[in-house]
Amino acid sequence: MFFFEIDPCLQAYSDAALQKIQPVFRRIEQTTEYNQQKVLRAFIDHRVSESHFTDSTGYGYGDRGRETLDAVFAQSMGAESALVRHSFACGTHTLTVALFGVLRPGDVMLSVTGLPYDTIQPTIGISGEQGRGSLRDFGVEYRQVDLRADGSVNLEAIEQALHTEKIKLVYIQRSRGYSLRPSLSVEKIGEIARMVHQCSDAIVFVDNCYGEFVQQTEPTQLGADLIAGSLIKNPGGGVARNGGYIAGRADLVELCAYRMTTPGLGAEVGATLGQNRNLFMGLFHAPHVTGEALKTAAFAAALFEEMGYIAAPASNEARYDIIQALCLRDAQTLVAFCRGLQSGSPVDAFVTPEPWDMPGYDSRVIMAAGAFILGSSIELSADAPLREPYAVWMQGGLNFHSAKIGVLLAAQQVLRSKGGSV
């Protein structure tokens, strides 16, 4: 390495890992090129110009940039309509707006990918205190179909649940969350959507976080009615400072807009306050940056496989999100990994991560995140709840060459925590 001291043993692991994943890198680059052209086509078709970057204040009426951004984003996602706003505080907030937008008292939502991600559980009302405004508090009931033992979707159980009672919304979490189950491909989501629509008139809603631009299609192109995600993940390209998006059927997006602001106003209001340029630029960079994050994940998987650890997905497996889980076996190794990764970050490399009781999680969590955008998980970061199976979930990497150093320093710290051997 030019500027970093890497143990010769680890460098040998790195060289072997890179050699092994060259075919994987070629597949990623093909997808990146396709998606980059798709986004460029949307920009050109909607005649994006400097005038769309002008800020609006107050009510934000007639903000052409905001309206054009929605249209460009919708085309990029293969959706009828989209709602892209910097005012969404995070991905969980965006998902919450979407759920409250389309669900009403007495409705039943059905999660078909098992227990949803930790932070959305209080929104649904399956964790947290009652009386704080969850869907459950407003009379929305929750049902769940667990995944099979191998992590696959149980289509037979979903069909049975749809025939047992009237379901208003089927909830699909594309990414794995804090589990080792496989992430869902767009094709698998399409299969679920087809079956749901054959059996009922339920809305198919996808938590699309971490999955945008990983494949050449999005869930809205294969039957999902509504998708939502965060702009400080894939679709913000590392440029968006905050925000989220909702995309899908125009009538459903409109309902979500009414929840976001107020009935009767919806998407017609909301000052952009000078954020349009960042959101446009972030979307434009998103396919390339997502590709860099995928390369980083594949490299981390291959490197830790060389070191004798289990990676999920494995280095040669197909990828349907940017998350890479590494099974590190014990809490000490989790902490070592996160501290090593932090030391290779462009921001706050001098900080030492410590486990803490993070709001929204049921166990102590350690995180590594030296990002330009606070909390951005399209930038190189890692989360590890200190509980079984003692896995770390790593994601992001604005460019592979710097992210590779972060991964190598994480691996080196792991080696040192083991006394120099795995």
* Dihedral sign of CA atoms 245, 248, 254, 256 in order: negative
For tokens 């125009």, what's the residue?
Answer: 250
pLDDT of residue 360: 60
CA distances from 232 to 29, 86, 89, 239, 338 (A): 22, 10, 10, 8, 20
Instruction: Measure the CA–CA gap between 384 and 326, rounded to whole angstroms.
Output: 10
pLDDT of residue 419: 78
Q: Give tens-digit pLDDT for 79-90.
A: 999 999 999 999
Residue 76 binned pLDDT confidence (cut-offs 50, 70, 90)? very high
Instruction: Measure the CA–CA gap between 302 and 315, rounded to whole angstroms.
Output: 5
Q: Where are the domains of the chain?
A: 8-36+287-417, 37-283
The yes-or-no verdict on residue 2 having pLDDT over 90 is no
What single string gives the DSSP state of each residue in 356-377? B--TT-SS-EEEEE--SSTT-S
pLDDT of residue 358: 74
Instruction: Measure the CA–CA gap between 39 and 237, rounded to whole angstroms.
Output: 12
Q: Do domains 8-36+287-417 and 37-283 have the same CATH topology?
A: no
The yes-or-no verdict on residue 421 having pLDDT over 70 is no
Residue 1 binned pLDDT confidence (cut-offs 50, 70, 90)? low
Residue 118 binned pLDDT confidence (cut-offs 50, 70, 90)? confident
Alpha helices in 185-261 (DSSP H): 186-199, 250-260
Instruction: Measure the CA–CA gap between 30 and 212, rounded to whole angstroms.
Output: 15
CATH architecture assignment, domain 8-36+287-417: Alpha-Beta Complex (3.90)
End-to-end CA distance of the chain: 22
- For the record, the structure tokens of 99 come out as 């759920």
Buried-state track 344-376, b at ≥16 Cβ within 10 A, e below 16: bbeeeeeeebebeebeeeeeebbbbbbbebeeb
> Crossing angle, helix 8-20 and helix 400-417, to 10 degrees?
130
Provide mean pLDDT across the span 378-396: 93
Domain at 37-283, CATH class: alpha beta
Q: What is the mean pLDDT of the chain?
A: 95
Backbone angles phi, psi at 139, to 5 degrees: 85, 15
